[in-house]
């Protein structure tokens, strides 16, 4: 099976002249070659942005030159910094989050666990997220993504009609119950080394968003639904909404809609939260993993 015709992956056809793309999987994801991110040109950036919307997730290898300042500068080319609901950022860089799991840390729930789109419980969830890898375990710690535009497109026309006008309640209730599980008191908010400084009440209240959202740049529709934050559907009872959300959440992460990245140190990964879901793996106890994370402010989904 092929989801897209061969020309979908053709750099010349896509106008990628200043970069080279190497698809990671049939459904989504691509490595970008010939770019030194710390010294990216305007022409390259325009094509990188287009490649991101095309492939949903893109990555660059061997970006040893890249500093935190470079990542901030690249993030700002996409738009303003997004506000992270979970952390305050690091000293001197309030818009940069450091994701660390130490070798000695053993937790049931890691940052990014469970299929999700970033912070959809906010009125304006981040449009784009970026991770730069500093320390990577020798095995494990991969990240998975899933293409929610493809997931929407491959629904039957009847199902598309059924869900067209529905609004999904996005809330952090279930995720926070996992973060808090086994902790002696509710205010001990941490995931391993990562101190969480968030407004839990607001995150649980969450927000209602269109279940089918339209990308502000490409105009393409995608399924805005995950198995971590999608808690209900406006106007429906839980008995009614749960089976539908369970189906859509499973469907959105069907194996062949995925790509999976085996990290190396000094990679930079960028993904579009409006067109894909992602998930971290908690399978590298005994090894350290460290990422530098930034997010781009998003629009209110329509
Ligand atoms: C994130 C996230 C996944 C990972 O940064 O939003 O979900 O594998 N990360 O670290
Ligand atoms: Mn995430």
Q: What pLDDT was estimated at residue 84?
A: 87
- Give the CATH architecture of domain 6-296: 4-Layer Sandwich (3.60)
| Tokens (6 digits) for 50 | 């287009």
Going by alpha carbons, the residue nearest to atom 9 of ligand 1 is 112
Runs of H (alpha helix) within 56-197: 68-78, 148-153, 157-163, 173-180
What pLDDT does 108 receive?
A: 87
Rounded CA gap, 203 and 219, in Å? Answer: 28
Tell me, rounded to whole angstroms, the distance of Cα 145 from its chain centroid: 7
Q: Which residue has the tokens 């690249």?
A: 74
Q: What are the backbone dihedrals phi and psi of residue 279, each rounded to the nearest 5 degrees, phi first?
A: -160, 135
The answer to whether residues 191 and 289 touch, using CB atoms and an 8 Å cutoff, is no
- Domain edges within the chain: 6-296
Q: Give, for ligand 1, the residue of 129, 196, 268 to mutate: max count of ligand atoms closer than 8 Å to Cβ.
A: 129
CA of 17 relative to ligand 2 center, distance in Å: 31
Measured from the CA of 118, which atom of ligand 1 is nearest? 6
Cα distances from 44 to residues 36, 159, 279, in angstroms, run 10, 39, 28
Q: Which residues contact 219 (CB under 8 A, 6 or more apart)?
A: none
Both structure tokens of 216: 């502000």
Question: What is the length of the chain?
Answer: 302
Q: Tokens at residue 73, please?
A: 């500068």
Task: Decide: 301 and 225 in contact? Cβ < 8 Å.
Answer: no
Which pLDDT does position 178 carry in this prediction?
A: 83
Full-model pTM: 0.95
**pLDDT score, position 177:** 84
CA dist., res. 146 & res. 104, Å (int): 30
Q: Which residues line ligand 1 (CB under 6 A)?
A: 99, 112, 118, 129, 131, 143, 278, 280, 291, 293
Q: Report how far ligand 2's centroid is from the alpha carbon of 145 (Å).
A: 10
Q: Is 228 exposed, middle or buried (0-12, 13-18, 19+ CB in 10 A)?
A: buried
In the block, residue with structure tokens 């000293």 = 91
For the chain, 302 residues long, give each residue's pLDDT as a single digit of tens: 889 999 999 999 999 999 999 999 999 999 999 999 999 999 999 999 999 999 999 999 999 999 999 999 999 999 999 988 888 899 999 999 999 999 999 998 888 999 999 999 999 999 999 999 999 999 999 999 999 999 999 999 999 999 999 999 999 999 888 877 766 555 556 667 766 667 788 898 999 999 999 999 999 999 999 999 999 999 999 999 999 999 999 999 999 999 999 999 999 999 999 999 999 999 999 999 999 999 999 999 99
Nearest to 87 by CA among 95, 76, 79: 95
Q: Which ligand is nearest to the CA of 261?
A: 1
């Amino acid at each position: 099976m092929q989801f897209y015709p061969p020309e979908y992956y053709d750099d010349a056809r896509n106008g990628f002249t200043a970069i080279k793309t190497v698809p990671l999987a049939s459904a989504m994801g691509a490595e970008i070659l010939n770019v030194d991110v710390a010294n990216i040109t305007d022409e390259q950036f325009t094509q990188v942005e287009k490649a991101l919307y095309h492939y949903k997730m893109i990555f660059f290898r061997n970006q040893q030159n890249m500093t935190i300042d470079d990542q901030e500068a690249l993030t700002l080319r996409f738009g303003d910094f997004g506000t992270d609901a979970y952390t305050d950022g690091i000293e001197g860089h309030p818009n940069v989050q450091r994701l660390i799991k130490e070798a000695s840390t053993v937790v049931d729930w890691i940052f990014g666990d469970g299929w999700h789109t970033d912070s959809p419980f906010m009125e304006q969830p981040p449009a784009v997220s970026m991770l730069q890898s500093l320390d990577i375990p020798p095995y494990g710690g991969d990240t998975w993504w899933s293409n929610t535009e493809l997931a929407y497109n491959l629904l039957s026309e009847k199902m598309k009609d059924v869900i067209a006008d529905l609004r999904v309640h996005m809330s952090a209730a279930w995720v926070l119950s996992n973060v808090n599980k086994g902790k002696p008191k509710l205010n001990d908010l941490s995931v391993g080394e990562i101190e969480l400084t968030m407004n839990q009440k607001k995150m649980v209240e969450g927000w209602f968003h269109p279940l089918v959202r339209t990308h502000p740049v490409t105009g393409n529709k995608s399924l805005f639904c995950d198995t971590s934050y999608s808690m209900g559907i406006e106007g429906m009872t839980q008995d009614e909404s749960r089976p539908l959300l369970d189906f859509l959440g499973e469907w959105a992460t069907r194996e062949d809609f995925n790509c999976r990245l085996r990290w190396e140190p000094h990679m930079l990964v960028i993904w579009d939260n409006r067109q894909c879901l992602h998930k971290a793996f908690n399978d590298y106890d005994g090894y350290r993993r460290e990422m530098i994370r930034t997010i781009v402010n998003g629009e209110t989904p329509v």
